[in-house]
Amino acid sequence: MTEQNERVVVVTGGSRGIGRAICLSFARPGTSIYFNYFSPSDPDAEAVAAAETEKRVADKQGFAASKSVNIVNEDEVSNFFNGIIDKTGRIDVLVNNAGITKDGLLVRMKEQDWDAVLNVNLKGVFTCTKIVAKLMMQQRSGCIINISSVVGVTGNVGQANYSASKAGVIGLTKTAAKELASRGITVNAIAPGFIETDMTAAMSDKARNAMLDQIPLKRAGYPEDVASVAAFLASEGASYITGQVVHVSGGMYI
């Protein structure tokens, strides 16, 4: 069993980018952070990145442990959470952050690219939330934060699958907030805009400049801009906020 004052945080996709920054924003003595990651194309690099996140959390005197777990695989996900629950007996915060893109114009989009993105970005959030919500209901406390996207609200050319998945996350967030509120559980979404990570590094200069033109604050965001909002939503100061979508986009959507 966990020590009474230990705070247990689970982050999906914590090996790099926004997920890593979220892990670091929670890192402090007395907090245990468990995160997963998954990369079919380069599992070794992903494991190295995950070890780096663990190290940086440890540098801040926190504790982190990670595992390669594909959130599309329900058995793997349930083993992952059962392992955490066996060890700690509780989960205080779940951040559903893992996500992928497979862009293409709607009329050319392959069914497998549609399915892959919806499975990771939306069904993965459902699977993790369902498992953790049951535990949080018994605890009568908890905080769930889902990472959506500004394009889940605005749509975006070439991202029919991604924007649909992120719009779905917003609907799921609002429903879960209503269903779980009476048990003392808050559920909110963050909608980041254009954030500097591996996900956006692959963009051409042209696409990048077009994106920057749409940002009133005239800069790309950093993972830390998103992470600080996640830390706030999980804090005592945000205990009266639920079912909301917080845009962290430099004003891309106003």
Active-site residues, by number, are 162
Tell me the closest approach of the beta carbon of residue 4 to ligand NAI, in angstroms.
31
> Is residue 70 part of the contact set for ligand NAI (CB under 6 A)?
yes
* Interface region with ligand NAI, contact rule CB under 6 A, candidates 37-45, 78-86, 129-137, 232-240: 37-45
Query: Closest Cα partner for 170 from 245, 118, 222, 95?
Result: 245
* Contact characters 140-159, ligand NAI, x per CB under 6 A: -------x-x----------
Which residue of 7, 9, 10, 13 would you call a contact of ligand NAI, by CB under 6 A? 13
* Interface region with ligand NAI, contact rule CB under 6 A, candidates 32-40, 105-113, 175-183, 238-246: 32-40
* Contact characters 72-111, ligand NAI, x per CB under 6 A: x------------------------xxxx-----------
CB 163 within 8 A of CB 153: no
Cα separation values, 64 from 44, 86, 113, 230, Å? 19, 16, 32, 17
Quote the CA–CA distance of 195 and 101 in Å, as a whole number: 14
* Interface region with ligand NAI, contact rule CB under 6 A, candidates 24-32, 35-43, 59-67, 107-115: 35-43
> Is residue 66 part of the contact set for ligand NAI (CB under 6 A)?
no
Task: Kindly tell me which of 137 and 222 has the beta carbon lying closer to ligand NAI.
Answer: 222
Quote the CA–CA distance of 38 and 95 in Å, as a whole number: 16
Q: What are residue 141's phi and psi, to 5 degrees?
A: -165, 155
101 token code pair: 């893109």
Alpha-helical regions (H) of 60-150: 74-88, 111-118, 124-139
Query: Closest Cα partner for 43 from 66, 25, 26?
Result: 66
Expressed in angstroms, the distance from the first to the final Cα of the chain is 46
Task: Kindly tell me which of 206 and 236 has the beta carbon lying closer to ligand NAI.
Answer: 206
Which residue of 19, 62, 142, 250 would you call a contact of ligand NAI, by CB under 6 A? 19
Q: What is the contact surface with ligand NAI in residues (CB under 6 A)?
A: 12-13, 15-19, 36-39, 46, 70-72, 97-100, 120, 147, 149, 192, 194-195, 197-200
